[in-house]
Amino acid sequence: MMDPDDVTIREQNFHSQVREYIICFLLFTILYTISYFIITKYKRKPDDHEDEDAIVNRISLFLCTFTLAVSAGAVLLLPFSIISNEILLSFPQTYYIQWLNGSLIRGLWNLVSLFSNLSLFVLMPFAYFFLESEGFAGSKKGIKARILETLVMLILLGLLILGIVWVASALIDNDAASMESLYDLWEFYLPYLYSCISLMGGLLLLLCTPVGLSRMFTVMGQLLVKPTILEDLDEQIYCVGLQEEALKRRFNGAYMTSHLKYNSEDLEQELDRVRSKKSKLERRKKASAWERNLVYPVVMLILLAGTAISVLLVAFNILALLVDETAMPKGSQELGLGKASLSAFGFVGAAIEIILIFYLMVSSVVGFYSLRFFADLAPTKDDTTMTKIIGNCVSILVLSSALPVMSRTLGITRFDLLGDFGRFNWLGNFYIVVSYNLLFAVVTTLCLIRKFTSAVREELLQAFGLNNLHLSNRTQDTEKVLHSANGHQKSF
């Protein structure tokens, strides 16, 4: 017979595993529901009738929702782990938080890593090929034919990627041990491939985050009401109103006069731009004094403080890397959760780290869509195709999967990477880590300097009314000439 103590331990382990599965399922359900509402908000509305394409779009929608939920889980990994460590440190013997343990945190990291690989290498390519497939020529059309074509394309793509990785590995490490490890698919190929994807994601974050940190000031400036300094809003509204009336008359004349060659689409875009400018000026005029003079400066100071703290932490991390080997980012197999605080400032420092991690993620997304190469990928409300949604989900997944690695590499947090996130080969390279920190600090500083110098110059020109001296040719033509219905010109 078995010892009663062994039975009790087995029961405890069983209940702990069931509890962890339930918690992971509930967390993923919440993220999946939120992701579904986000995607359906931007997805182009389908037709009412049910057909083959509608079924394919629905399957692709579910796969994209799964990928976006995994991306949200990757973003929340570090904040959830940091706050869990501080809670266990503050309440070590509390019964109601016994479910919050190292096994749960490690399981979450492993699940996010697994689902990230699954989404990036299987689900998203399947969704794209399934959406574009029509079935092989000569075969019977239908869902089965499209699935067969998609599976064939996935196999060919997998063989192509494995061949590229094999050749790249052989060129980099041309020794017997490395060549032998190339035949191990599960233990070498997939971790090595995900390590390369993570490095690409880290480089993409290095490109997007500094741009986003400087772009955040512009975005918040568009959402908030700026203070009125040396500006006459009534005069600006009057001038914009005259421009709007002139464009309306010219737009109507272009439609009524057939022999004049005017581009009505350009006139319509110009009219929309003037109307948008007029609505912004009217909003600034209707805003209260505290909204103009208090909210905007406070938000700008918060953004500036967050950016400055991030750059300072990176600078301190560079110094630590030069003098201390333990500052190198590394993976950890033993998670000492609740034993010591990760920040010298305790709970306040941990809260600042969490805020900075979210701030960097939002900035990276803003910077990603601000780049010219990815600007066309930005989603539009109720008018985004499934192909573009797939591209957005893949981009967000790559950025979010690299966020924990970037946060640890830059020294934003001292929480060691768990699971496959700590197995990346390039994390142990001193020169790559130091160069990454230096590039982030230098590029972020240069972007901020350029942003603030240009912003100050524009504000000064606007305050003294000098910005109206350089009007575009389209606006000058609008103010000079109005076309009547019979085609004759009327000058002001």
pLDDT at 69: 93
Q: Which of 199, 192, 21, 39 is nearest to 111 (CA)?
A: 21
Name which of 141, 120, 123 is nearest 53 in CA terms: 141
pLDDT band per the 50, 70, 90 thresholds, residue 187: low
Mean pLDDT, residues 146-154 taken together: 87
Higher-scoring residue by pLDDT: 414, 210: 210
What pLDDT, in 10s, does the model give residues 363-416?
899 888 888 888 888 888 888 888 899 999 999 998 888 888 888 888 888 777
149-184 burial code (b ≥16 CB/10 A, e <16) = bbeebbeeeeeeeeeebeeebeeeeeeeeeeeebee
In sequence order, the β-bridge partners of residue 483 are 489
Residues 133, 149 contacting (CB under 8 angstroms):
yes
Whether the predicted pLDDT of 29 surpasses 50: yes
Q: Distance between CA 405 and CA 112 in Å, rounded? A: 13
pTM over 0.75: yes
Q: Is the pLDDT of residue 443 over 80?
A: yes
- Residue range 56-81, pLDDT digits in tens: 888 899 999 999 999 999 899 888 88
Residue-by-residue DSSP string for 69-98 = HHHHHHHHHHHHHHHHHHHHHH-TT-GGGT
Q: What is the pLDDT of residue 30?
A: 94
What are the tens digits of pLDDT across the range 220-242?
777 776 666 556 566 667 777 77
Check whether 264 has a pLDDT greater than 70: no
Alpha carbon distance 231, 212 (integer Å): 29
Per-residue model confidence as pLDDT tens digits over 445-490 = 888 887 777 756 666 666 666 655 444 444 444 444 334 333 444 4
Q: Which helix (H) or strand (E) holds 125?
A: helix 124-132
- Residue 332: its H or E element: none
248 Cβ contact list (under 8 Å, min separation 6): 271
Has residue 321 got a pLDDT over 80? yes
Q: How confident is the model at residue 338 (pLDDT cuts 50, 70, 90)?
A: low
pLDDT at 472: 43
| Mean pLDDT over the full length of the chain | 76
Which has the higher per-residue pLDDT, 4 or 201?
A: 201
Task: Tell me the average pLDDT across 123-139.
Answer: 83
- Give the pLDDT of residue 197: 75
Tell me the percentage of the chain whose pLDDT exceeds 90: 7
Cα within 13 Å of Cα(59), Cβ side: 18
> How many other CB atoms sit within 10 Å of the CB of residue 58?
13
- The rounded distance, in Å, linking the Cα atoms of 406 and 205 is 8
If one compares 89 and 30, the residue with the highest pLDDT of the two is 30
